[in-house]
Structure 1
Amino acid sequence: MTASITRCWQNVLSLLLLLAACLLPLAAQATEGITALRARAEVEEHALAISTRYQIVLPNALQDAVQQGIPLTFRLTFELTHPRSSAYWLRFKHFFEPTASINFKLMYYRLTNRYRVAIGSLANNYNSLSEAVAAVGSIAGWRVLDVSDWDESDRRLLRGRVQLELDIGQLPRPFQLNALGTSDWSLESAWTPVTVEGGS
């Protein structure tokens, strides 16, 4: 009887270990991607300013590409979601687009063994890939909209959302074709809502 119970527990333990071994790769895959850690908006000096920070876990294929010297461009997009009525826009003097975007370029320089993240003409260098990736999508006071003509009540109506994604169109041509055939190269965050926290 005792031997039978021991054998049964051994079978249950074996099944649990087998299940854990099967689920570990799935858990590792689930952590890959882009997650918003911070997304907020405020009015600074008569402009709507966005601040964001993301956690990015690159799949192995993208890590290998960076190590080979392939630059990765990530696009941060802001989209105005409220108000959206075209009649409402006619109240304002200046026409503006309801979206704005900015690019972060991640590069590796083998000669110096350092990583660089560039936003336009501004760039910072990092000693490790993890430090460089942490800087991608992190921005404070990004001005996306002139609200100097808006009164305080109009500013409080502002709502928007942000998204960070890998811009496959910026990859070298052979990698663009490769990216179309695999999910490893399809990397984007969910849209994250932002609301105005204050006015000036």
Structure 2
Amino acid sequence: MAFSTASSRSIAERWRRLLCLLLWLPLLAWAAEIEVNNPQLLASDDGYVLNADFAFDLNARLEEAVTKGVALHFVAEFELGRPRWYWFDDKLVTRTQTVRLAYHALTRQYRVTTGGGLHQSYGTLTEALRAVSRLRNWLVVERGDKAPKSGDTLQAALRIRLDLNQLPRPFQISALGNKDWNLSSDWKIWAATLPALPPLPAPAAAPTPAVETR
């Protein structure tokens, strides 16, 4: 009887370990492929801008897609708010920005388009990816916004992901359930103290009207 009980416990323990492994496998398979580094909120004349670096590489499937003319859209998402222990976080700012990476066969150039249409061309994919991985001077809080104030310590969060919804339809279908197309980061969360904004320039003095003499 003692042997039977021990054997049953051993089998139960094996099943428990197997169940844990099965639960963890999807998380391991879909682990974040992009690392968010050095996020910083800086003061500017227009408000607060965000700088950050993203560490990633394109796998063979994505690199082949780009060189065959498929544009990749990377969406950066930013949130700024106050954490509250008694309820959901109080979000003050939510921003998104899309960076488009495309290859033009006629010019043999890679083009990176950011935000409102600003673009730059590069001769190699390595140079283009370096541009995609550098987020600079993204205006996330305008000076006129009333909610965030200089000196406030807030909770900031940033992530970036490949937007599969902007792929051509046939590629959207093939990307479903395929980890080769899963390129994203986890949320990078940090405590951000807003620095003081630079003073606004003094308004120009009105010109003195000329005195007509006779």
TM-score normalised by the chain length of structure 1: 0.71
1:69 aligns with 2:64: no
1:101 aligns with 2:96: yes
Structure 2 unaligned residues grouped into runs of 5+: 1-28, 198-214
Structure 1 pair 146–197 and aligned structure 2 pair: CA distance change class (3 A): closer
Kept in 1, the 8 Å contact 2:112–2:119? The answer is yes
Report the counterpart of residue 182 of structure 2 in structure 1: 186
Structure 1 pair 165–110 and aligned structure 2 pair: CA distance change class (3 A): same
| Aligned-pair CA distance for 1:172 | 0.4
Identity %: 31
Written as runs of structure 1 = structure 2, the 5 A alignment for 1:47-86 is 47-82=47-82
CA distance in 2, matches of 1:191, 1:70: 27
CA distance in 1, matches of 2:151, 2:111: 37
Written as runs of structure 1 = structure 2, the 5 A alignment for 1:138-149 is 138-148=134-144
1:111 to 106, 126, 134: 106
Report the counterpart of residue 198 of structure 1 in structure 2: 195
| Aligned-pair CA distance for 1:178 | 0.8
1:41 aligns with 2:38: no
Which structure would you say has the larger Rg?
Answer: 2
Structure 1 unaligned residues grouped into runs of 5+: 1-28, 90-95
Kept in 2, the 8 Å contact 1:55–1:134? The answer is no
- Which region of structure 1 is more displaced relative to structure 2, 97-106 or 44-53? 44-53
Greater relative contact order: 1 or 2 (C-alpha under 8 angstroms, separation 6 or more)? 1
- Which region of structure 1 is more displaced relative to structure 2, 66-75 or 76-85? 76-85
| Aligned-pair CA distance for 1:154 | 5.8
| Aligned-pair CA distance for 1:49 | 1.4
**What CA RMSD, in Å, does the superposition of the two structures yield over aligned residues?**
3.1
Question: Would you tell me which structure has more helix in proportion to its own residues?
Answer: 1
| Aligned-pair CA distance for 1:43 | 2.8
Kept in 2, the 8 Å contact 1:76–1:137? The answer is no
CA distance in 1, matches of 2:43, 2:82: 15
- Which region of structure 1 is more displaced relative to structure 2, 131-140 or 72-81? 131-140
1:126 aligns with 2:122: yes
Secondary structure of 1:33's counterpart equals coil
CA distances 1:119-158 after superposition (whole Å, capped 9, x unpaired): 1311011111111011114222211123546599764222
TM-score normalised by the chain length of structure 2: 0.67
